[in-house]
Amino acid sequence: MRSDRDHVSRRVVLAEDGVLLREGLTGLLHRFGHEVVAAVGDGDALQQAVVEHSPDIVITDVRMPPGYTDEGLRAALDVRRRRPGLAVLVLSQYVEQTYAAKLLEAGGAGVGYLLKDRIGDIEEFAAAVAQVAAGRAVVDPEVVRQLIRRGRRSAPLERLSPREREVLALIAQGRSNSAIAEALAVSEAAVTKHIGNLFIKLDLPPADTDHRRVLAVLAYLRN
């Protein structure tokens, strides 16, 4: 379930070196009411656009010119260090656990790691943009599925019950407590209890709730 703040228009800086995909994403974002204030093709231009336009969210590919390794991710991390409140959604062609971990380890709210295949589901992509822009952490469901398989063999995740793993998987997808309750057909009170238990089992000290949710997702990535 999305809150009202998810529906507001956002100022977007888009970084994607593929011209066709960049144009397609620009049109899609406009369709959902967002303003693409800059659409660029490399990491340096991304950083310059953020300084010039002060966007609400950056959407960037991981691999950018000139090296096509992690230039887009590094540029996003650089601008996020300078503007800690800036939401960042990173797009990747493949499941790259290290990149997702780097993004979440940077700290703060409003981060996302999404596979490019997910863009094909327009509503799902739009929801991810809205959730990240609203300050949540969103990790692609396919990344979550792979991490769950690995996590079952890794401490401290093996401390979690099957239901707590389900809850954590939905947290990683950016779901709110009410949305998790609806997905699992349980009460919000039960979800709150499960989340409290998994915070304890993952050795996450009391802190801002949203921050602990990010740290809980990061526990998957670290394992």
DSSP collapsed to 3 states, 191-210: HHHHHHHHHHHCCCCCCCHH
For residue 4, being part of any structural domain is answered with no
Residues 126 and 188 in one domain: no
Number of H helices, E strands in the chain: 10, 6
Q: What is the pLDDT of residues 34-89, one digit of tens each?
A: 999 999 999 999 999 999 999 999 999 998 888 888 888 889 888 888 888 899 99
Tokens of 198: 């998994």
CB 59 within 8 A of CB 91: yes
- Residue 111's SS3 state is strand
Distance CA 75, CA 133 (A): 18
Let me know whether 153 and 124 are in one domain. no
C-beta separation of 133 from 57 below 8 A:
yes
Q: Into how many domains does the chain fold?
A: 2
Of 139, 167, 200, which residue constitutes the final position of a domain? 139
- Contact of 128 with 92, CB cutoff 8 Å: no
110 belongs to a structural domain: yes
Query: Contact at 8 Å (CB) between 60 and 46?
Result: yes
Boundaries of domain holding 210: 144-222
**Residue 214 confidence (pLDDT):** 72
pTM above 0.85?
no
CATH number at residue 47: 3.40.50.2300
